[in-house]
Structure 1
Amino acid sequence: MRQPRRLYPSLRRGAVLLACLFALAHAQVSVPTFGTRGDVPDSLVSAFMPAFRSAVGAATGLDVRNGELITPGIAGSLEPEFAMLIAELDQARYAVSGELARSSAAAGDAYAVNMIVVDSERDRATDLISLPLDPDDLRTAITQLAATVATFTSALVDLQRGDAGLFVSSEPSDAQVFLDGVALGRTSHLDVAMVVPGRYQLEVRKEGFLPDVRMVELRSADTALVHVVLTPISGGSIQVIANPRAHVFLDGVEVGRSPLTIAALPGTHRLTLTREGFVDDQLDVLVRNYRVTRVDRELTPALDPLVFWEERREVLVYIDGALQSGAYAQGVRPGLRTFELREARESRTYLRAVPEHGVYRLDLVTGELVPVGN
């Protein structure tokens, strides 16, 4: 008589586990045919959509639905509310809303793809993602977009509980709080979050204000109190991340260095990222009212091999005895090279091997050549 009582909890746990696995296995993402803006040929849409759906399926492991009943207006809305409707109509947990747009600021056949992803079950959405789209190289943009979808669908929905506390308040109140991308709630009724000690990315958002993003260090048996004062904006904002860091120009005007968030009026804007030793990166980005457009770019080296370093005026860099005038090695050849770093009255010399190919960051503290890869 005792054996059934011992077996029942095991069976119940097994049933719960199977139910969870069944639900995960049958989760679906709706990817209706994107809308278009400007003069976008049908052939580009026809080539892009099947390849994108296939890449999303491979990256996420989810069933991908075509959203055949979704109209182009809804599919290309780029609004979370309409994207949630896509998920509901297509009976999917996740949905993608996107558009292919002609790039008005560039000559020739230049296009952009804009996209958001939503989770109808958790009522959450990504920022607006903007990428340039090369008709002769669809794979690059498709791979990045599919990876974005996969990151979103596999994101943590809860943080591991620990003895490090965090309490966040904001001005104005009722702002959304995210810790490492996990929603904690709103500041108007937020309790102390207890998590594992460590370094986290804290993001506070409220419609009509610039998002505040910062790193916080949470310690064991301690509670960090963070008060955030948000800056009001008229329009939307662009969040720019570049690897390596770059100077950022918006519509031809320098606005700072990445990473940064820029206030911008709704519409299409020309974004340019520049850094010595790298090819200038230009793209059109779409800004929506009270929305964040996220731009995450890997800069292309102008030389191979390329050795660069952070721009610090107090440090002079000599390679094989020649003073370098910029923040990268101009015409450095592969092989053993002497790097000399002069700062104030101190001089440090290192013998380093420069490989034949690749991108390397010269650490101005240790003198090491650190590989930088995609």
Structure 2
Amino acid sequence: MSSLTPTIILFCIGVILLLGAMWISLLLKQRQKFKQLIDFAIEGMVVSQKGHVIEINDQALKIFGGNDKQEILGKPMLDFVAPASKALVQAQSTLNTDMYECVLLRKDGTPFPALVRGSIVEGFGKTMRVSAVIDLSELKEAQYALQTLNGNLEIQVQAQIEKNRQQEMMLFQQSRHAQMGEMISMIAHQWRQPLNVLSLLAQNIVFKYKLQKLDERVMDEFKEDSMRQILQMSKTIDDFRDFFKPDKSIKIFDINQQLAHAVEMVRPIVAAHGIELSFQGENGLKVESFPNEFGQSIINILNNAKDVLLESCGEFTKQITVEAKRGENNTVVITIEDNGGGIDEMVMPYIFEPYFSTKGAKHGTGLGLYMTKIIIEEHMHGRISVVNGAEGAKFEIVLQGLA
């Protein structure tokens, strides 16, 4: 028995060494597979034990700015964490954590934003922590660039809005200059009758002076009649001044009253050209908006209808009709229709465009209907449209009425 004992002992030692070698070989294969696994990861992978780096993949080496893994291996994990994030990273180092954002350091000390996720694993007889690291530098730069672009875009948008506003103000100014010409023409028509009366009164007083028939009664009558005509002329000026004064604030006004005022201002001009102008409206139509601007838009349409009728050929009674009524959903609908034959279908899509005119440069600015559309749709939040009716063009304005 004693002679077999060494043999048995040697055999056992051999078996133990063989098993040990097999176990070591298995561990090495597992370690190699583990290394290959983390090397295949898209994220930077860092394996640490007791707070020190024991393995990293190539992506992590690139993220931390190293050229050789030996520059990173063996160093404390916190050496690669920015001071502001050390407390956060240290608190997460013993836990399985979801993604969180922190600031890490490259090998040369340069900080960079990163996303980190960590898991505690058991392997090779050790407790290790495997951390996945994603460099957010490019993403943050892209976000900053996008924010800058958005900021610049907002500035450009605001600049364009301001440019459009300035252009609209310029168009309004040009339109007002054109309206001043119309207003002077209207005043001239309104003044013609009282001026004729004043002329007759002056001739009469001269005639009576030559006949030596001037007395206190005649002079009082002359004074009263003259002042009556002068006051009428002054009232005409005040009416036109107030009507064309830019609106400063929103007011509740009666649609019929404002339409009637506009019609009366235009009537002397259209009547001088043999055009009949009629108006009818339902009672109680009120809106809350800008009355003067509304009146100016109506005058623009009436003047446009007048010009169309003046260009019309043939012997027929030329007419413009204005109507106001209540529409659906408590709206107010205003229609202005003429019998001038309608608008050419080729022209119709451009009728509200700025500077578009079929009258020629000497007879039109091309701003009247454009400004009317701006007033109705942008200032008064209504709608304006035009169609060809049975005998001519028909403009329709829809505004929100008051109950």
TM-score normalized with structure 1 length? 0.20
More helix by share: 2
More strand by share: 1
